Amino acid sequence: MPLLTLPIDGEGRPVIGLYVSPVPDTLKSMREEGVEVPEPQFVSALVDTGCSRTKITQSVLDALMIWPVSRVLEYTPSTGTNPVERDVYEVCLLAERIPYGGCLAWDLQVSSAEDLSGLGVQALIGRDLLDRMHLFYNGPKREFSIAFDPPPAPDD
């Protein structure tokens, strides 16, 4: 079980570097169709235990040249009792600094976020991904750790 321990940022937040890419099946289809395969996109992601679904900014998803797989209604702190409709995309997430490829999810369904720049990140890691991990926040040491079992590789 890989373990990654990182310092919390200057604001006391657990932020991790991730690479986001299309899922393996989409990459395979792109290659077969002669479509230029996009480079994985690096994002800073805030671990957010209050967020039910992982969110990635729309600009990052657009750079991956992928299409939504569905739409969902979501409540956010700023929408109150009025949900907002968001596109859902299927992506592969790889963590920076984790051995063995660092794959956190081969095919996670994430929702789009308009703009997270006020938080200084491009993604929020929600409980959909955190449910697959052990998370330890050590405030006195100003660090956090995640441990997880890598998901099995997709069939080729």
Q: Which residues pair with residue 43 across a beta bridge?
A: 18
pLDDT of residue 98: 66
pLDDT of residue 33: 94
Q: 32 vs 78, which has greater pLDDT?
A: 32
CB 3 within 8 A of CB 148: no
User: Above 80 in pLDDT, residue 122?
Assistant: yes
Residue 101: band (very low, low, confident or very high) from pLDDT cuts 50, 70, 90: low
What is the pTM assigned to this prediction?
Answer: 0.91
Ordered structural domains, the chain, with CATH: 3-148 (2.40.70.10)
Residue 106: band (very low, low, confident or very high) from pLDDT cuts 50, 70, 90: confident
